[in-house]
A and B are shown apart, each in its own frame.
Chain A
Amino acid sequence: GAGVSQSPSNKVTEKGKDVELRCDPISGHTALYWYRQSLGQGLEFLIYFQGNSAPDKSGLPSDRFSAERTGGSVSTLTIQRTQQEDSAVYLCASFPGGGYGYTFGSGTRLTVV
């Protein structure tokens, strides 16, 4: 597609449940990033994938968070045993490198009740 696609757009889940967030990046983009944004806050880095290299997981806040990128394309961010502090908008971005910028998806708004 022409842009970065994220699904679902909204997710309400009960505390303690697992959730999966999906990102379909722009075809051919080398790098894929996950960030999260709490209400009125900045962009918090979570994880970064580039080609076949080992992902940079340095931003994952706890071992309840994991992500994978299959076939160098679609990525899934999984949050296990969700907590209320996980509520945020989760943004995925893809990036071709060089003198270009990130293209962000519309995000998944996660609400843990």
Chain B
Amino acid sequence: QQPVQSPQAVILREGEDAVINCSSSKALYSVHWYRQKHGEAPVFLMILLKGGEQKGHEKISASFNEKKQQSSLYLTASQLSYSGTYFCGTHPSRGSTLGRLYFGRGTQLTVWP
């Protein structure tokens, strides 16, 4: 039930945009996105609960297509501080956001000046 993230790695220049995808073979109730900087713990970015919902955080937004069982994270006008590994975590159960998350393998994002 581990979701598949793509791409595995992205290299950007400051100001460029990127999209990270997260796909699951199972029906999803929610999707979490986290960012982990080297040597630090993952930090929560956002949670998406409904199909087609879009959320935003700074210049980072995400969509969740429940029918396609996938979510995408959009990074707009990337900044140096966006560098890190991005993980999606999927929650397959319905009716509750509790229970374990299944995390993807991560997407390593590097932003150069």
Pick from A30, A91, A104: contact of B98, CB below 8 A: A30
Complex Cα gap A48–B87 (Å): 19
Main secondary structure of the interface of B (DSSP, over half): loop
Complex-state Cα separation, A41 to B103, whole angstroms: 11
Q: Which residues of chain A have C-beta atoms less than 8 A from B41's C-beta?
A: 91, 104-107
Q: Which residues of A contact B112 (CB under 8 A)?
A: none
Which one of A60-68, A69-77, A79-87, A94-102 is at the interface? A94-102
For A105, list chain B residues within 8 Å (CB). Answer: 41
Range class of the B interface residue count: 20 to 34
Chain A, Cβ-Cβ closest to B42: A104
CB distance from A109 to the nearest CB of B (A): 10
Scan residues 70-96 of chain B and give those whose CB is less than 8 A from a CB of chain A: 87, 89, 96
Q: Confirm or deny: A56 has a beta carbon within 8 angstroms of a beta carbon on chain B.
A: yes
A103 at the interface (CB under 8 A from B): yes
Most buried by B among A30, A43, A98: A43
Q: Which of B97, B103, B104 lies in contact with A97, CB distance below 8 A?
A: B97
Question: A residues touching B (Cβ–Cβ < 8 Å)?
Answer: 30-31, 33, 35, 41-43, 45, 48, 50, 56, 59, 91, 95, 97-107
